[in-house]
Amino acid sequence: QSFVSWQWRQFARRMYIVELILYLIVLSIVTFEIYFFSMVEKLHHDVEANSSGIYESEELSLALDAIVVIYCLRWLSREAWEVADGGIRVYLRDGWNWLEIPTLLLMMSFCLFDIITASNPIFIDGESVTVADTRASFASLCGVLMWLRLLYFLRGFSGTGPFVRIVLEIVKDMKNFILLLLIVLGGFATGLVALFRSTPSGDFGDTGE
């Protein structure tokens, strides 16, 4: 035990902190882009825009996306090495990998749509813009999973590690309840879709403003 603790203090802890810092930088970039994109769109709805429309800074967006893509490629190479070293079965037995895989894919997808919108600026108006809407969907899921992945790094600190462990154990104990909850919600969702199939699309439908 003492030898493991010494190895952790001398080598592993430093690498762990470096990985945490790199992840915090990327998380800050993605969070900034999500907030900035939302602010620009909200600004257009609140303030009358000029004829040229409201655009994000193409150079800034591409530069930030390049940093995120480089990090994702580095992360992907580490995951590939982990699979090659231990095998796919061992890799999938680790529950954290089930969080990291979708997080990595969503980060890369978010950057892809971000590069598309930056390379081909889209005028943001009151109507639905397909690429912008798709980007917003990826941004929403990506933001949630990236913040949740911070729990992975918080395990390595004495002040937060026990609480992360408690949360994970609670989630494990709730798996049967969550299954029942999803069944009930799925049933009601299906019923509501059938009931409101003729309702016009929009923020208010046919209820009037």
For 96-138, write each residue's pLDDT tens digit. Answer: 888 889 999 999 888 887 777 665 554 444 444 556 667 777 8
Indicate the average pLDDT of the chain: 78
Q: Name the pTM for this structure.
A: 0.73
Q: Which residue did the predictor score with more confidence, 14 or 28?
A: 28
Query: Taking 90 as the threshold, does the pLDDT of residue 26 lie above it?
Result: yes
Of 116 and 33, which is predicted with more confidence?
33
Q: Token pair of 36, please?
A: 């900035």
The pLDDT of residue 47: 52
The least confident of 41-50, 80-89, 102-111 is 41-50
pLDDT at 158 exceeding the cut of 90 = no
What pLDDT score was predicted for residue 195?
Answer: 84
Spatial separation of the C-alpha atoms in residues 198 and 80, rounded to whole Å:
48
Domain-by-domain residue ranges, the chain? 2-159
Give per-residue pLDDT as tens, 187-202: 998 998 888 776 665 5
